[in-house]
Structure 1
């Protein structure tokens, strides 16, 4: 079993039902074997900064539209991203060092 940390992220402006979305995020985290943490609701930090501060290996979203394309790109610098519906996986960016 994986004991890595996942950050649950729900955009309140997008969510039709916060309780349903949070239950689905919790279920996916449990299914994948991650310890789920939630961001501080009062924080003004970007999602990428909250994922970094939580040392999250994964960010779980109810759906892809809970992050803008630019936010998704930034998060993928520090963590993988999984969505519940549709079930999608986005692997974090890898950096290859090219020898001179």
Structure 2
């Protein structure tokens, strides 16, 4: 019998925004576990935009400590490829639908 793998969550903590990056990473990891995801963290050397890293990781969701960890333009790009969850406030955003767009 084939075991199913846990879906992937991309953990995102912007160190320039965070006042306690280790705490934020721990909170993201706890939420991911609670939601049934395995967390994949970005490669610190990557120069790719977050949305491209999410796509490359085949992540279903991006989990971050709070909405301010992504700017509005990058958040828009991320929502084109994955759902978004935040720890505080506890929010969930579904990825943009491509149904009926003629793509």
What band does the TM-score fall into relative to the shorter chain?
over 0.9
Structure 2: runs of 5 or more not aligned:
none
Compute the displacement of 1:96 (Å). Answer: 1.8
Map residues 48-63 of structure 1 onto 2, 5 A cutoff. 48-63=51-66
Residue of structure 2 in register with 1:65 after alignment: 68
Q: RMSD in angstroms over aligned alpha carbons? A: 1.6
Q: Give the number of aligned pairs.
A: 99
Post-superposition, which runs of at least 4 consecutive aligned residues in structure 1 deviate over 4 A? none
Matched, 1:11 2:14: yes
TM-score by length of 1: 0.94
Residue of structure 1 in register with 2:46 after alignment: 43
CA distance in 2, matches of 1:98, 1:78: 15
CA distance in 2, matches of 1:16, 1:55: 29
TM-score by length of 2: 0.91
Aligned-partner SS, 1:22: helix
